[in-house]
Chains A and B, each alone.
Chain A
């Protein structure tokens, strides 16, 4: 009987192709939006999660930080030096390695080409902390650090932009007007969400401090690596305690530094992704509501148009429930057809978006989004189909047969 009704419904929908298409437009747009947005948001979180995993999920960033509000203002000068970092290394058992990191923007010049890049002062362990290594040449070593040599390692993107020779090792570039010898080139990372990741210059931390002075040294951040990903939270606690003691903070005072883990970063990303999903869900529910009203409208028209058919069906023995089922199934089928078209359209849009955005991990629609779209469109059909179907089922057979 259900199958019978399904065939009848498909026939009726096919007989009124144009009308059915227009009617289901709301549902088509609604489901297309769900699929497209979910796939894009999922892609974004995937990209960011991958990036974070690349960075090493046991990496912790410690930066000087003035807390907002009155409490923050009362703290006086905010300083953090590499002494703090060394203390962390000594006292925190969950920490393995750490590198100080200071950063300035500066002009980098080679021959006639020049550009602005971030210049980072780091120590040799940077590679292990970031899980990110040189591709060609070498990283500067402890001797470069202690000797404050003018050596540098460049990001892969700098190569082309400054028209450096294919093998730039041993060449000199001007960093803020001072000649630095290139000893290595980092492996390429590409782009993340339109952000160039390969354009930077690394120099020894000691050299950077010598060049930039004490202001910068007092504002040193550090990258710390926890022993295992599971120990990240514990390591963060240990760092927090060590630094609070070193900075002589009383219990009621807020910390004058910030310890951020990748976990927190991921949490934030997930929050944003969820936020976007909720907003879209809101918009989509309006589209589905409009679509549902369209379906109800067209079903009411259909019931009126087919009054004689209903009368006849009742005359030959259809019960109320038969007529009710027929029209509800027709409404649900109509909504589902719209849902299927919408899903196809959403997949198309998502796939095109995936093509257009660089570094995309590949197009993906989670099964739950498909299930949700099917579920919602049939629920809309069911909800908005019941009233017209009930109206049809209550028609009086005698009057219906006489209906012109």
Chain B
């Protein structure tokens, strides 16, 4: 069985000034199976954000190949990438990134709007997703009427609503107190148990302990790749 994510010898470089090139990723190869829970760690400047942007199809590599579910991503244009993100990726951000003027249901159904799903079905799916993250009673609250933990749950519901192949979480507890952070991590453990593939980008070791596999980056290269728990399939 081929891996869900297959990254082969990928580099990503940025032009800085006239003749200076910065390699944010330098020959990275990694394969991630369906149903895995991977933590990507590294200090700032290690390239973990760049790797996450590539995996999340927000960006394409300078060289090398990235196949997601067997489809080559590196050569796609903006609109094709947008479609892949819409179908395959669920983003969870440190700063939640909710629309301030929209209520919970409207925030959650946003990916479905761009998937072209009917109003009625959208509402139904969004409510299901909110129920799944334990926010069934807050469907029509706006972000500013909710606590940080509740906002992150809305964001997670939004990431889940399209049944994506990957949940991509970037420091999901960075803006939360430790107790609320624990609750969010527990929720993500639940989601993983239910079969979701999770990639967690963090610089905190405590968080990384939740993952089954920990990948460490430094200076644009993978320096260690440790599996804490075996894949259970």
Contact = CB atoms under 8 A, between A and B. Distances in A.
Interface of A: 1, 4, 11-12, 15, 308-309, 311-322, 397-398, 401
B97 A318 contact: no
B97 A1 contact: no
B101 A312 contact: no
Given A398-B53, A398-B58, A316 B99 contact: no
Nearest to A306: B99
Contact of A316 (B79, B91, B116): B91
A317 B93 contact: no
Nearest to B91: A315
Interface in B73-108: 78-79, 82-83, 85-87, 91, 93, 97, 99, 101
B115 interface: yes
Nearest to B80: A319
A16 B56 CA distance: 34
Contact of B99 (A4, A312, A318, A322): A312
A317 B101 contact: no
Given A12-B101, A398-B58, A401-B93, A317 B53 contact: no
B220 interface: no
Contacts of A321: 79
B93 A320 contact: no
A1 B53 contact: no
A398 B222 CA distance: 22
B85 A316 contact: yes
A14 B185 CA distance: 38
Interface of B: 53, 56, 58-59, 78-79, 82-83, 85-87, 91, 93, 97, 99, 101, 110-111, 113-116, 158, 162
A398 B59 contact: yes
A316 B101 contact: no
A309 B115 CA distance: 18
B82 A314 contact: yes
A317 B99 contact: no
B59 A316 contact: no
Nearest to B90: A316
A15 B56 CA distance: 32
Given A308-B97, A317-B114, 12 more contacts: A1-B116, A12-B101, A15-B101, A312-B97, A314-B82, A315-B91, A317-B82, A317-B115, A319-B78, A319-B79, A398-B53, A401-B97
A313 B53 contact: no
B60 to A, nearest CB: 11
A320 B78 contact: yes
Most chain-A CB neighbours within 10 Å: which of B101, B113, B162?
B113
A316 B93 contact: no
Chain A binding site: helix, strand, loop or mixed by DSSP? helix
A397 B58 CA distance: 7
A309 B85 CA distance: 16
A314 B83 CA distance: 10
B228 to A, nearest CB: 29
Contacts of B86: 316-317
A259 B83 CA distance: 77
B59 to A, nearest CB: 6
A317 B78 contact: no
Given A1-B116, A319-B78, A313 B101 contact: no
13 contacts: A4-B113, A313-B110, A313-B114, A314-B82, A315-B91, A316-B110, A317-B83, A317-B86, A318-B82, A319-B79, A319-B83, A398-B58, A401-B93
B166 to A, nearest CB: 13
Contacts of A312: 97, 99, 110
A319 B82 contact: yes
Contacts of A397: 58
B101 A11 contact: yes
A401 B53 CA distance: 11
Contact of A322 (B59, B93, B114): B114
Contacts of B111: 316-317
B142 to A, nearest CB: 12
A301 B83 CA distance: 28
Nearest to B110: A316
A52 B56 CA distance: 77
A233 to B, nearest CB: 64
Contacts of A314: 82, 85
A326 to B, nearest CB: 10
A5 to B, nearest CB: 10
A316 B113 CA distance: 10
Contact of B58 (A309, A315, A320): A315
B58 A316 contact: no
B182 to A, nearest CB: 26
Contacts of A11: 101
A15 B162 CA distance: 29
A321 to B, nearest CB: 8
A315 B87 contact: no
Contacts of A12: 101
Nearest to B50: A398
A59 to B, nearest CB: 66
A339 B99 CA distance: 29
A318 B115 CA distance: 9
Q: Which of B59, B82, B113, B115 has the most CB of A within 10 A?
A: B82
Q: Which of B78, B87, B116, B162 has the most CB of A within 10 A?
A: B78
A158 to B, nearest CB: 71
